[in-house]
């Protein structure tokens, strides 16, 4: 039998090779789609997780001051995860197991055996640590004209003692309970980005009226809180997301557009001393980097 002309043989070979390539691409895409289904993602936590004060507001629950631009929504948007967001402003660790407000169920109820990813920022409201320390140091700073360390002198180790005695065991229990409810999930416990600079910035006193000697005092309290979050995470098999380096230089004393956290006074946020939209976005991006997703 006579062979087909060379140009016919060549065209046939090219067509066959193209078919193999297309088949491989289709098979590869199908395999990838099958191997990487969308994550079932549950977001828990307090106002730093909820993005309280960041627009737009989640209208499904106004009590919780939750934003649809908070870091859980950024993570879900960039990863394609199926998000269940039950974050709530002012939440404490106890609100994981009991109702925070009428009609607002325990946060941990959102987690199940099928959950793939859980993120949370929690602990800052236990013992009123953040609010208590900021109000105490802010009022003391105003009365002292920014001199000395009146807040430290008045309160000593009381905030640290409460963190160690109460917040740490509560965090460890919360994380242990989440691990039991969702043994296959990646649980990420986020630290809190820096609120204050390491040392006093005189130009910041009008926005964050804390005395010179109390700025490092507040910073040390926050560092202690983050340390117990990290310790509880390590002891329960959770991932700790550390912001101590990436949030340096983005505290509440920095300029708009640089800061992640709004100041106590004269800031742009509706809720002072909380992350702005830029801060929530950067928290999401660093969390995705640590978890290797997105």
Catalytic residues: 47, 274
Residue with tokens 């994550």: 39
Q: How far apart are CA 57 and CA 30, in angstroms?
A: 38
- C-alpha 41: how far from its chain's center? 13
Nearest to 288 by CA among 33, 115, 81, 47: 81
Residue 127 DSSP code: G
- How long is the chain? 294
The number of CA neighbours under 13 Å toward the Cβ of 37 is 8
Residue with tokens 């043994």: 183
CB atoms within 10 A of CB 5: 9
Nearest to 272 by CA among 203, 191, 185, 207: 207
Q: How far apart are CA 35 and CA 47, in angstroms?
A: 34
User: What do you get for the CA distance between the two ends of the chain, in Å?
Assistant: 58
Residue 271 DSSP code: S
């Amino acid at each position: 039998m006579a062979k087909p002309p060379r140009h016919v043989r060549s065209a046939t070979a090219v067509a066959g090779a193209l078919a193999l390539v297309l088949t491989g691409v289709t098979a590869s895409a199908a395999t990838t789609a099958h191997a990487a289904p969308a994550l079932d993602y549950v977001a828990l936590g307090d106002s730093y997780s909820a993005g309280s004060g960041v627009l737009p507001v989640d209208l499904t629950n106004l009590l919780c001051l939750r934003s649809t631009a908070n870091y859980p929504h950024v993570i879900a948007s960039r990863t394609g995860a199926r998000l269940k967001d039950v974050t709530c402003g002012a939440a404490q660790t106890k609100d994981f197991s009991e109702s925070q407000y009428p009609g607002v169920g325990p946060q941990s109820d959102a987690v199940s055996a099928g959950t793939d990813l859980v993120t949370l920022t929690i602990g800052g409201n236990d013992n009123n640590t953040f609010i208590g320390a900021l109000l105490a140091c802010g009022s003391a700073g105003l009365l002292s004209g920014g001199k000395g360390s009146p807040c430290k002198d008045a309160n000593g180790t009381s905030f640290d003692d409460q963190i160690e005695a109460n917040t740490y065991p509560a965090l460890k229990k919360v994380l242990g309970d989440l691990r039991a409810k969702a043994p296959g999930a990646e649980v990420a416990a986020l630290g809190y980005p820096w609120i204050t600079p390491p040392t006093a910035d005189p130009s910041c006193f009008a926005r964050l009226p804390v005395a010179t000697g109390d700025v490092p005092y507040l910073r040390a309290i926050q560092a202690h809180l983050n340390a117990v979050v990290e310790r509880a995470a390590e002891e329960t098999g959770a991932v700790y997301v550390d912001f101590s380096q990436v949030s340096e230089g983005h505290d509440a004393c920095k300029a708009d557009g640089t800061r992640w956290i709004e100041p106590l006074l004269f800031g742009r946020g509706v809720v002072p001393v909380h992350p702005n939209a830029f801060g929530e976005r950067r928290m999401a991006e660093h969390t995705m980097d640590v978890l290797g997703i997105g």
